[in-house]
């Protein structure tokens, strides 16, 4: 199957590959997987105190479309607030990368990874609030 | 011809609807069915019957592939019970499991930088195989208990097994490269 130019570009030059310290309280980590193809995706976001995503990193084991989808969303989420990032829809990812119908699930994976990363960050923040309030 | 096919693959093969199956019986029944419905036997039959015999043969083959593989068989049993796998839309997995998968894949990607790639591949394969065995045993326990409440645990195990099968075949492909 032919990949679109945009998929190839992200696949050959993936943006923001890497990892961040998952124990850092300003970092949210999202891990998701697709049983159909065995793809595993990890997306990490670093969030500033005012709730803006300053940086994003990803690591994906999977097909070209899965790598491209995660590479693309690391670019998209940077500079966005958590609320804005959560509004990114898989259909936008699929459209931008011109994914064929059989690869739509790769964009679902990337959307779910953003959501999982934001939820991880938020749960870390509420734990922090809990421990500071119980300490007070 | 069609009424003989039964309502599901188990009925088609005339074996009990169960996760535990007798492979010898399965293969024996497969050959019986193949003989009975083989398109060659319908060479002089009407177009419609010939077409039907080809469809039935295709279905018999599909049934064999499904019943012979434990993961596919398990998925099929869940489907018959009305449980959806949602492979493409449900991306939530146990984080610990996904972490392990990530590490296995990282190890696999770095295999060519190790001094003995084949030995390293063997080591990863043993680990994957162990994980597969444990899950298959658990599956067989859960299925034989026949408790509907176990469906979500069964589904989880099957989903994890799909990852392990995928990485297993990747290891096999890599072995070909290093041998």
Hey, are the CB atoms on B88 and A112 less than 8 Å from each other? no
- The C-alpha R_g of chain B, in whole angstroms, comes to 20
Nearest to B65 by CA among B19, B32, B30, B25: B30
Interface of A with B (CB under 8 A): 31-38, 40, 42, 59, 61, 104-105, 108-109, 112-113, 116
What pLDDT tens digit does each residue of chain A (136 aa) get?
A: 678 999 999 999 999 999 999 999 999 999 999 998 889 999 999 999 999 999 999 999 998 999 999 999 999 999 999 999 999 999 999 999 999 999 999 999 999 999 999 999 999 998 887 776 655 4
- Global pTM? 0.86
Q: What is the DSSP letter of A98?
A: T
- Whole-number pLDDT of residue B127: 95
Extract long-range pairs of B33-41: CB within 8 Å, 24+ residues apart: B33/B60, B34/B60, B37/B1
- Whole-number pLDDT of residue B1: 62
Q: Write down the H helix ranges in chain B.
A: 9-13, 23-37, 47-68, 70-80, 95-109, 117-145, 151-178
Q: How far is A61 from chain B (nearest CA, A)?
A: 7
Q: What is the per-residue pLDDT across B74-100, written as a single tens digit (0 to 9) for each?
A: 999 999 999 999 888 898 899 899 999
Residue of higher predicted confidence among B44 and B19:
B19
Q: What is the per-residue pLDDT across B118-157, written as a single tens digit (0 to 9) for each?
A: 999 999 999 999 999 999 999 999 999 877 789 999 999 9
Burial of B117 from C-beta contacts in 10 A (0-12 / 13-18 / 19+): middle
| Residues of A carrying an active site annotation | 37, 106
Hey, are the CB atoms on B163 and A38 less than 8 Å from each other? yes
Compute the distance between CA of residue A51 and CA of residue B125 in angstroms, rounded to an integer: 43
- What is the sign of the dihedral through the CA atoms of B23, B29, B32 and B35? negative
Hey, are the CB atoms on B88 and A59 less than 8 Å from each other? no
Chain B residues close to A33, C-beta within 8 Å: 91, 93, 97-98, 101, 163
Q: What is the per-residue pLDDT across B48-66, written as a single tens digit (0 to 9) for each?
A: 888 888 889 999 999 999 9
Residue that is written with structure tokens 């679109």 in the block: A4
Q: Please, which pLDDT band fits residue B178 given cuts at 50, 70 and 90? A: confident
Compute the distance between CA of residue A15 and CA of residue A19 in angstroms, rounded to an integer: 12
Domain locations along chain B:
2-68, 95-178
Hey, are the CB atoms on A31 and B95 less than 8 Å from each other? yes
* CATH 1.20.1280.20 at B95-178, yes or no: yes
Compute the distance between CA of residue B163 and CA of residue A41 in angstroms, rounded to an integer: 13
Report how many Cβ contacts below 8 Å link chain A to chain B.
59
Q: For the domain with range B2-68, which CATH number is right: 1.10.287.110, 3.20.20.70, 3.90.850.10, 1.10.645.10?
A: 1.10.287.110
Residue A103: closest C-alpha in chain B? B88
Q: What is the per-residue pLDDT across B162-177, written as a single tens digit (0 to 9) for each?
A: 999 999 999 999 989 8
- Whole-number pLDDT of residue A136: 47
């Amino acid at each position: 199957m032919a990949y679109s130019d945009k998929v190839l570009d992200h696949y050959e030059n993936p943006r923001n590959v890497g990892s961040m310290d998952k124990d850092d309280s300003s970092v949210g980590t999202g891990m998701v997987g697709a049983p159909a193809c065995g793809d595993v995706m990890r997306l990490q976001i670093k969030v500033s105190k005012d709730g803006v995503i300053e940086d994003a990193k990803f690591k994906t084991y999977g097909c070209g479309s899965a790598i491209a989808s995660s590479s693309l969303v690391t670019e998209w989420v940077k500079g966005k607030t958590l609320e804005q990032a959560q509004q990114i829809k898989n259909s936008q990812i699929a459209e931008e990368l011109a994914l064929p119908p059989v690869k739509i699930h790769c964009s679902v994976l990337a959307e779910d990874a953003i959501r999982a990363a934001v939820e991880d960050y938020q749960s870390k923040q509420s734990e922090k609030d809990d421990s500071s309030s119980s300490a007070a | 011809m069609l009424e003989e096919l039964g309502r599901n693959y188990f009925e088609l093969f005339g074996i009990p609807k169960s996760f535990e199956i007798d492979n010898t019986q399965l293969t024996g029944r497969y050959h019986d069915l193949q003989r009975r419905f083989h398109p060659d036997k319908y060479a002089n039959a009407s177009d419609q019957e010939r077409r039907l015999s080809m469809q039935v043969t295709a279905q018999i083959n599909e049934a064999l592939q499904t019943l012979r593989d434990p993961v596919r068989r398990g998925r099929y049993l869940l489907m018959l019970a009305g449980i959806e796998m949602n492979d493409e839309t449900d991306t939530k997995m146990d984080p610990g499991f996904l972490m392990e998968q990530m590490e296995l894949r990282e190890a696999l990607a770095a295999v060519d930088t190790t001094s003995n790639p084949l030995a390293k591949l063997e080591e990863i394969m043993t680990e994957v195989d162990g994980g597969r065995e444990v899950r298959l045993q658990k599956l067989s326990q859960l299925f034989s208990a026949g408790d509907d409440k176990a469906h979500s645990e069964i589904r989880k195990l099957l989903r994890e097994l799909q990852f392990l099968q995928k990485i297993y075949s990747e290891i096999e492909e890599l072995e070909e490269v290093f041998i």
